[in-house]
Structures are given as structure tokens and as C-alpha cells.
Amino acid sequence: MQNTLPQRRQALGWSQQRLADELGVSRQTIISIEKGRYDPSLPVAFRLAATFHCSIEDLFIFDEGATA
């Protein structure tokens, strides 16, 4: 699944660590989500959307060609 997290995070001038601290997750979790290696749980996805004042659908782009 693709996402817009790096662009949104950088637009705020936040580091990956700052975003991780805001969400209560590890920096490695943020790195993995940004690189598309890990899909967040629903609670984390909702916290991300709240942090960026947008919907989950605005953050994550479903890739129908990707394997589950």
C-alpha cells in the first residue's frame, strides 16, 4: 500500500522520530510504514489521520496490484 506520510510529515518539518513520539510508536514503525513494508493497525491509522487532520483514505492509497 502506498502512502503520503513522508510528504505530509516533511511539510510539517517533523522528523520520523517526532511523528513516532506523537503516535506512541517506534521510529522503525514509521520508517516501515513510509516505505510500504508495514501496514499500520487501524488505531495507528486513525491516529495518523487525526495528526494530519485528514482521512485515512487521504494518507493511504490502495494498490490493487499488490499481493497481500
- pLDDT for 67: 56
Q: CB of 45 within 8 A of CB of 30?
A: no
Contacts of 20 (CB under 8 A, 6+ apart): 26, 27, 29, 30
Q: What is the pTM of this model?
A: 0.86
Q: CB of 1 within 8 A of CB of 61?
A: yes
- pLDDT for 68: 52
| pLDDT tens, residue by residue, 11-35 | 999 999 999 999 999 999 999 999 9
Locate the DSSP E strands across the chain.
Answer: 2-3, 60-61
